[in-house]
């Protein structure tokens, strides 16, 4: 797997990226922050469209999207600084059209969709004229942290496929125009799965019970979606039939990182809020900033923010290198570290702001609700730790076996 190598302003020159970062920073602070809905509430569709138009006017819209589709064409390695600036507001990524699940779906469609599919699905999505969702997660015992438990099926019929199954926790589905649906296709092999492009108003599709969750930044809910005898034509198979699990990795690795980037931006805002508070608050005859216990909390947050940014950059480089093993391992490490670090940073900011921190007079309590689910979404921390350890053991086994082969050859030459 490799990320798009596309160009950014000045053909990927550092000064071009720095300019996008600076413009995004100004846009979020000057335009988005004043337009934020009250803490703990979602941005409605009309407000999102208005902010997206202002982002276009400011030249910061769709930083990750190819230039040919109206974006800025930044490569993956340049996304972090921009996405962090967007994430300084919970609604900043929506304004820039780089919010989940649409952002990950754009990358997947760019990588594996046909020209016709890109025209029908990717172009309006990249332009902010359509919304999407990724329908993989299912009610227990179906696919969740373990995609191999996939229960939804698709069977081949004349001219296409018929999908049957129940999905749940499908983020954005209530506002989505289409879904990328993963279904098992057993006639292609016991472990074969296929991706399908399915309009949400297609016959047999039912958006059902809305699951109430802590966070509000991902608009469109997290509902159940059922597929009952839903016909999908051959033209709407995404990628190669039977290769759905492999294709999904194109999306999942970078999507973990972009979640890290966005929430890291929100954690920076929480930390800035705490820094402003301690500079102006006096306690026991001293500035709060001069008290050692407060300094310890601030220092730990500085460490969490710096280390998170570093592991994200390392993972982005690994994904761009095309080394699948290295990219997968690095993105899992980044996801676990960042999902836990941003929670710590926001929690410390709440503590440093005292009583105000646990009210909605400041947005910090709402920020806690936004970042807490990330330790579960896109694979729980425990699932990733299990996978990280297994990969490490397998890597060491390969290293030892390679060393033994070298020694055997050397012994054979004596």
Query: pLDDT tens-digit profile of 121-147?
Result: 999 999 999 999 999 999 999 888 788
Q: Per-residue pLDDT averaged across 184-193, rounded?
A: 94
- Report the C-alpha gap between 5 and 12 in whole angstroms: 10
Nearest to 78 by CA among 59, 63, 95: 63
> Mean per-residue pLDDT for 155-181?
97
Rounded distance between C-alpha atoms, residue 337 and residue 303, angstroms = 12
Q: Tell me: pLDDT of 284 over 90.
A: no
Residue 355 has pLDDT above 80, yes or no: yes
What is d(CA 86, CA 263) in angstroms, rounded to the nearest whole number? Answer: 10
Segments making up each domain of the chain, as ranges: 9-126, 132-241, 245-401
Mean pLDDT of 191-210: 96
pLDDT grade, residue 39 (50/70/90)? confident
Output b/e per residue, 355-380; b: 16+ Cβ within 10 A: ebbeeeebbbbbbbbbbbebbbbbbb
What's the CA angle centered on 272, arms 268 and 276, to 5 degrees?
175
Question: What does the pLDDT read at residue 6?
Answer: 38
Going by the DSSP 8-state scheme, the letter that residue 243 receives in this structure is: B
According to the model, what pLDDT value does residue 181 have? 98
Compute the C-alpha angle 152/157/158, nearest 5°. Answer: 155
pLDDT on residue 7: 40
- Cα Dmax for the chain: 80
> Can you give the pTM of this predicted structure?
0.91
Q: Which fold has domain 245-401?
A: Butyryl-CoA Dehydrogenase, subunit A; domain 3 (1.20.140)
pLDDT of 25 above 70? yes
Averaged pLDDT, 278-304: 92
Distance CA 84, CA 274 (A): 18
Cα 75 from chain centre: 16
Where do the H-state alpha helices sit in 13-78? 14-27, 33-35, 45-58
Give me the pLDDT at residue 405, please: 78
The CATH class of the 132-241 domain is mainly beta
Tell me, what's the pLDDT at 166?
98
Q: At what angle do helices 79-87 and 292-321 cross, to 10 degrees?
A: 140
Q: Which helix (H) or strand (E) holds 208?
A: strand 205-210
Residue 9 has pLDDT above 50, yes or no: no
Q: Write the pLDDT tens digit of every residue in 230-270.
A: 999 999 999 999 999 999 999 999 999 999 999 999 999 99
For residues 342 and 266, what is the distance between their CA atoms, to the nearest angstrom?
8
Q: State the Cα–Cα distance between residues 206 and 87, nearest whole angstrom.
A: 32
Question: Is pLDDT above 90 for 4?
Answer: no
Query: CB of 61 within 8 A of CB of 55?
Result: yes
Of the options 1.10.540.10, 1.20.1250.20, 3.40.1620.10, 3.30.565.10, the CATH number for the domain spanning 9-126: 1.10.540.10
Average pLDDT value for the chain: 93
Whether the pLDDT of residue 152 is over 80: the answer is: yes
User: 105 near 117, Cβ under 8 Å?
Assistant: no
Query: What is the spatial distance between Cα 245 and Cα 253, in angstroms, rounded to a whole number?
Result: 12
């Amino acid at each position: 797997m490799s990320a798009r190598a596309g160009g950014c302003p000045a053909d990927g020159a550092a000064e071009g990226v720095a300019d996008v970062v600076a413009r995004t920073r100004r846009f979020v602070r000057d335009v988005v922050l004043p337009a934020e809905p009250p803490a703990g509430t979602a941005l409605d569709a009309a407000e999102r469209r208005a902010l997206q138009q202002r982002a276009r006017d400011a030249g910061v819209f769709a930083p990750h999207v190819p230039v040919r589709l109206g974006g800025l064409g930044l490569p993956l390695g340049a996304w972090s600084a921009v996405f962090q600036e967007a994430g300084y507001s919970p609604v900043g990524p929506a304004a820039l059209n780089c919010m989940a699940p649409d952002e990950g779906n754009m990358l997947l469609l760019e990588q594996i969709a046909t020209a016709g599919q890109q025209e029908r699905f990717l172009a309006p999505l990249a332009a902010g004229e359509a919304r999407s969702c990724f329908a993989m997660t299912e009610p227990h015992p179906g696919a969740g942290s373990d995609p191999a438990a996939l229960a939804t099926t698709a069977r081949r019929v004349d001219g296409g496929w018929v999908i049957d199954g129940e999905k749940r926790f499908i983020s954005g589905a209530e506002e989505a125009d289409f879904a990328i649906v993963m279904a098992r296709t057993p006639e292609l092999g016991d472990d074969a799965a296929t991706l399908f492009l399915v309009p949400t108003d297609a016959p047999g599709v039912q958006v059902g019970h809305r699951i109430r969750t802590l966070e509000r930044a991902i608009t469109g809910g997290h509902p159940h979606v059922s597929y009952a005898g839903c016909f999908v034509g051959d033209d709407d198979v995404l990628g190669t039939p039977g290769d759905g699990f492999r294709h999904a990795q194109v999306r999942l690795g970078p999507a973990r990182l972009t979640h890290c980037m966005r929430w890291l931006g929100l954690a920076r805002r929480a930390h800035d809020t705490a820094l402003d508070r301690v500079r102006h608050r006096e306690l026991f005859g001293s500035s709060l900033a001069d008290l050692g216990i407060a300094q310890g909390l601030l220092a730990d947050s500085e460490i969490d923010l710096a280390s998170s940014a570093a592991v994200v950059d390392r993972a982005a480089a690994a994904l761009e290198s095309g080394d699948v093993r290295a990219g997968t391992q690095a993105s899992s490490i980044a996801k676990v570290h960042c999902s836990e670090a941003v929670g710590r940073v926001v929690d410390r900011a709440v503590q440093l702001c005292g009583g105000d921190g646990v009210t909605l007079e400041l947005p910090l309590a709402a920020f806690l609700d936004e970042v807490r689910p990330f330790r579960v979404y896109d694979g729980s921390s425990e699932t990733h730790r299990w996978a990280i350890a297994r990969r490490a053991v397998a890597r060491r086994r390969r290293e030892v076996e390679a060393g033994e082969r070298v020694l055997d050859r050397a012994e054979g030459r004596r």
